[in-house]
Amino acid sequence: MIIDVVMPKMGESINEGTILEWRKEVGEKIKLDEILLEIGTDKVDSEIPSSAAGVVVEILASPNDVKEVGEVIARIDTDEDSGIKHSENEEKVDAQAPVEESLSPTVSINHSKIQKDHSTNKKIFYTPVVMKIASEREIPLNELESIEGSGRGGRITKKDILHHIENRKLSSPAPAYKQETVSSIQSGRSEEMHHMRKMISKHMMDSLSTSAHVYVMTEVDMTSIVDFVKKEEGSFKHREGFGLTYTPFIVDAVVRSLKEYPDMNSSINGTMVDYHRDINIGLAVAIENGLMVPSISNCEEKNFLGLCRSVHDVAKRTREGNMDPDQLTGTTFTITNFGVFGVSIGTPIINQPNVGILGVGTIKKQPVVIESNEGDSIAIRSMMILTLGFDHRLIDGSGGSKFLESIRNHIETMDLRDIL
């Protein structure tokens, strides 16, 4: 029986997907729920398991093809005489089987890369994807042979070699290359931009051509919050199972200010302004190939501890690749924290269809003039710079400045008693 494989629906608002990589080729056997291909949408990249066991008899889409949801992209023959083995013990390794990671149309298998494993007296196949990564990262062949493969027949997959590289970084100090050496390594080559970077590029350019970006900045005294986190982080982690960070304090202040300035919690729809009842905070999370902005829904209903748990949950699941595509939509305001990389000031691009985005800088100790009735004094305080980007089509400078000052005031005057 021939089963059609269709482009799956990855979320309510997603109507198409891009073929990123086929894990099987025509003529290859596949088991139920074994990964057949990887697809990408404008929100997330996902591995797609097979809905049937059989033999792949037809592939109707190439890498980088964009297909609508429901469109047939492959066919699988499920007849019993196709010879599928469902038991791992019955599965035999075919030395001439196609490689595990499918290739772009411009890449062919280089059989000179096939090496002999003398300890097991069987051949190990290194796919062009693996060999390309090994070449770029200057991994010698003897080191490549030492990697334990998780693929069929012990083959080394792309994930295996990337995991090995990450472990190698953690276990040994990075070589002190001179600047000119780094430049020579990075130059002189061209490669296809990652799908996620293509999507980010499109969204950012669309936002710049849609919104009239304006920025205002202010300094915030974080001393009381820094002292509070230092005091409570041990007991908090013991109780909750994760660390207490500064992000929930900022989210809490933003939510309070959005209630006071509903214009910042709206979207422009043609000549109409949609004022959102719910406050859904988008939290920019850096991942391997770019950036994702998961949404924390209904923040106006959460207390501070609820915000702590939500911030941790969405950040963890985003980095692990476990976010549902629907959770990457519906934001009404966005926060991006470039301060975690040691940066003080930035000008982030608005996340459409929001009209505002808050950039959070790093916290640094600085000498600050303290004014009081007794006179001025200088003290060492933990200071942070906040940058508000807003859409000038709706928000004027006065409105943006008042909103940012409201956030600053809520942070600096936050009542930390019994907040946890």
- Counting residues of the chain whose pLDDT is more than 70, the rounded percentage is 81
Most confidently predicted of 42-56, 324-338, 378-392: 378-392
Residue 87 has a pLDDT of: 38
Give the closest residue to 368 by CA, choosing from 154, 223, 162.
223
* 3-state SS, residue 405: helix
Q: DSSP letter string over 214-271?
A: EEEEEEEE-HHHHHHHHHHHHHHHHHHSS---SHHHHHHHHHHHHHH-GGGGEEEETT
Q: Which CATH number is 1-91 given?
A: 2.40.50.100
pLDDT at residue number 254: 98
Q: How many CA atoms lie within 13 A of 303 on its CB side?
A: 5
Q: According to the model, what pLDDT value does residue 129 have?
A: 67
CA dist list (Å): 220 to 223, 291, 385, 409: 9, 26, 6, 8
pLDDT digits (tens, 9 = 90+) for 322-345: 888 778 889 999 999 999 999 999
User: Domain limits of the chain?
Assistant: 1-91, 102-192, 196-412
**What average pLDDT does the structure give for the chain?**
82
Residue type for position 304: F
User: Please, which residues bridge with residue 365 across strands?
Assistant: 382
For domain 196-412, say whether CATH 3.30.559.10 is its number: yes
Tell me whether the CATH fold assigned to 1-91 matches the one assigned to 196-412. Answer: no
Catalytic sites, residue numbers = 392, 396
Three-state DSSP class for 31? coil
Instruction: Give 55's strand partners.
Output: 29, 77
The pTM score is 0.64
